[in-house]
Structures are given as structure tokens and as C-alpha cells.
Structure 1
Amino acid sequence: MTNAVKRQGAGRPFAAMDLLSPREREVLAAVAKGLTNRQTGELLGISHRTVEVHRARLMRKLDVQSVAQLVALYVLHGQSQAGHGDRPPC
């Protein structure tokens, strides 16, 4: 668990998701769709190297060690937000 998640409280397992920038959320959505770094870069109008940097920051912020864990967290976060009406998932 990251320090950011610990500071947000144990009752909010997805608290670190609130710390993501809008661009990181876009990159996360693209990763979850299975896009490559190059495809994501083309979609967002940034270089594939910049996408790599965003992915690395996402993984560090969300305290995951693989892209599979990153996608799983994204999916679970979306399911936890469904039906709550406060905001749509990433």
C-alpha cells in the first residue's frame, strides 16, 4: 500500500485513484483497453515515450507491479463506482 493510500484511510481501497491526473486517467483507460504505448500516444497526441512515463507513474502511484494488476485495479474501481452516482469510473 502506498503512503498516499495510507494517508487517505484504509476504508477507501481505491483512494490512490483520486490522486491521478486527468492525463494519467486517459492513459489508464487506454491501457485497460489493451492499446500499446504507440497507439495510446497517437490517440492522445503525445509520444510513446511520454506514455511510458505516465504508465510508470501510474504503477508507482497505484502500487502495482504489472500491467495486469493495473488493469485489474481499473476494472475493480469501475465496478466499485457503478451505481453510486457520485462520479463515473475513470
Structure 2
Amino acid sequence: MSSPRCLSLAALICDQVAELSHAVTGYIALERFVLPAYADEKNASVAPSRGELCALVQALNAAVLRHIDTLAMAMAVLHAEMSGGEAQDR
């Protein structure tokens, strides 16, 4: 039987997975931006500076790591809740 806390954590995990998926789209955009196959002929001569790319990657990393940390915490709490519930059921 699922406790309300477990259901709440499961909902949080689902939300975080969706947000993590959205954050990863930033990496897809970055890949398209830097790969020659996706070069925009009109703006090909306008290269981003190293500082701009660094700021972009830092922002993407921060978003992805935030979601991973939240997922890890929620999974640990959910695991503890589920393990505790099994111990009580015995």
C-alpha cells in the first residue's frame, strides 16, 4: 500500500524528470550551435566568445545538477519510506 508521502515523492520525481529532460534540450541546442553540420550560413562568421560559451555551459550544468540532486534526494527518501513500510508490514 502506498503512503501519501510516497505518492507525493513519486509525483516530485516525475516532475523533476520532466524538468531535467527540458534542461537537456539546452545541450541539444548547444550541440546544434557548435557543430558544423548545423552551421547557419548567414551567421557562420559570428562566432561566440569563449566566455559566452562558458556561461552557457555553466548555466546548463547548474540546471541539470539541480534536477539530479533533487531526484537523488527524492529517491533516497522514497526508498527509506518504502523500506520502512516493508519493515512495519512484517
TM-score interval w.r.t. the shorter chain?
A: 0.3 to 0.5
Scaled by the length of structure 1, the TM-score of the pair is 0.32
Higher relative contact order (CA 8 A, sep 6+): 2
Scaled by the length of structure 2, the TM-score of the pair is 0.32
As a proportion of its length, which structure holds more helix? 2
